[in-house]
Amino acid sequence: MAALAIRNVSVFYPVPGKPSVHALENINLEIHDKDFVVALGASGCGKSTLLNLIAGFMAPSEGEISLDGRVVTGPGADRSVVFQKHALLPWLNVLDNVAFGLKIQGHDRGKREKIARAFIKLLGLEQFEHSATYELSGGMQQRVGIARALTSDPAILLMDEPLGALDALTRERAQELILKVWRDTGKMVFFITHSVEEALFMGTKLIVMSPRPGRISHVFDLPFSRLYFETDNAREIKASAEFIAIREKILQIIFTDEAGTDDE
Ligand SMILES: Nc1ncnc2c1ncn2[C@@H]1O[C@H](COP(=O)(O)OP(=O)(O)O)[C@@H](O)[C@H]1O
Ligand SMILES: [Mg+2]
């Protein structure tokens, strides 16, 4: 069973001529098989820093991160990142964008197109295989980015506010699609958002972070994504009494955190 373990992790960013920025303080978190972990919190509370540590883009100042018992020391195909600003290659069509990582890994055309097509289908992009990515809407470009991230068969998908640039309706559709992709692929997910509603709807586990220094202030187990699979009705879930009650509770926590810190 796949598991990511974050143990006693702290990060200090050196700042020339000034005290270092204490971005994360003693973070402990385990992500298990089939977990969809959502990180929520005010700007500057260390969400992206935590994701970059898991991705292996940077090393913790203290503590350790491991995936399936192996310490993370750099980026790897077992951890795929989807950014808010998709990093698609404009001179390649959808199929070649999705297959790009496989090409770099040295797979022949037949194999990489077979794998790429499976994820293109999963993300509902079959009609657009040969389209240029700049012809697609923002929501569809993001789907191309997710399909590409899946081709390396990672143990965990890391998403840093992937839906933040989308309009409200597209964003709701994308939330539902990502949940179905998560269910159908069985990947672990670490997902960052600013939206309380999105966090509650999507996560199986919610970590609420607070700033200065960044730390996990609350952890909640959530039932809503699983309820969604039973009813296929996202709006009904988001409008339910249970959902609204916890949404207000989380908003209260975040506003209290905000009030307790100085403005930047
Ligand atoms: N390269 C860096 N150098 C110095 N400080 C940084 C750097 N990157 C991030 N920070 C600081 O670390 C804190 C956490 O940043 P970040 O992880 O980007 O938070 P979030 O994603 O939650 O907004 C912030 O105070 C930010 O200003
Ligand atoms: Mg961030």
Domains of the chain: 1-78+163-264 (3.40.50.300), 83-153 (no CATH)
Q: What are phi and psi of 118, to 5 degrees?
A: -65, -40
Residue-wise pLDDT for 153-179, tens only, equals 999 999 999 998 888 999 999 999 999
What is the spatial distance between Cα 89 and Cα 129, in angstroms, rounded to a whole number? 14
Residue-wise pLDDT for 17-65, tens only, equals 999 999 999 999 999 999 999 999 988 999 999 999 999 999 999 999 9
Residue nearest to atom 7 of ligand 1 (CA): 13
160 in contact with ligand 1, CB cutoff 6 A: no
Whether the pLDDT of residue 261 is over 60: the answer is no
Q: What are phi and psi of 167, to 5 degrees?
A: -70, 165
Whether the pLDDT of residue 262 is over 60: the answer is no
Residue nearest to atom 16 of ligand 1 (CA): 46
Three-state SS string across 227-257, please? HHHHHCCHHHHHCCHHHHHHHHHHHHHHHHH
What is the spatial distance between Cα 172 and Cα 247, in angstroms, rounded to a whole number? 17
Residue 136's CB: how many other CB atoms inside 10 A?
18
| Spacing, Cα 47 to ligand 2 middle (Å) | 6
Residue-wise pLDDT for 106-143, tens only, equals 999 999 999 999 999 999 999 999 999 999 998 899 99
Angle at which helix 168-185 crosses helix 138-150, to 10 degrees, equals 20
pTM above 0.85, yes or no: yes
| Spacing, Cα 52 to ligand 2 middle (Å) | 10
| Spacing, Cα 41 to ligand 2 middle (Å) | 10
261 in contact with ligand 1, CB cutoff 6 A: no
The fraction of the chain above a pLDDT of 90, given in percent, is 86
118 in contact with ligand 1, CB cutoff 6 A: no
Q: Which atom of ligand 1 is nearest to the CA of 39?
A: 22
How far out from the chain centre does Cα 121 lie? 21
Contact partners, residue 24, CB within 8 Å, separation at least 6: 9, 10, 11, 46, 49, 50, 53, 60, 213, 214, 215
Asked if residues 64 and 9 have their Cβ atoms less than 8 Å apart, the reply is: yes
Ligand that lies nearest to the alpha carbon of residue 160, given by its number in the listed order: 2
Contact partners, residue 70, CB within 8 Å, separation at least 6: none
133 in contact with ligand 1, CB cutoff 6 A: no
Instruction: Return the pLDDT at 86.
Output: 66
What is the spatial distance between Cα 178 and Cα 38, in angstroms, rounded to a whole number? 13
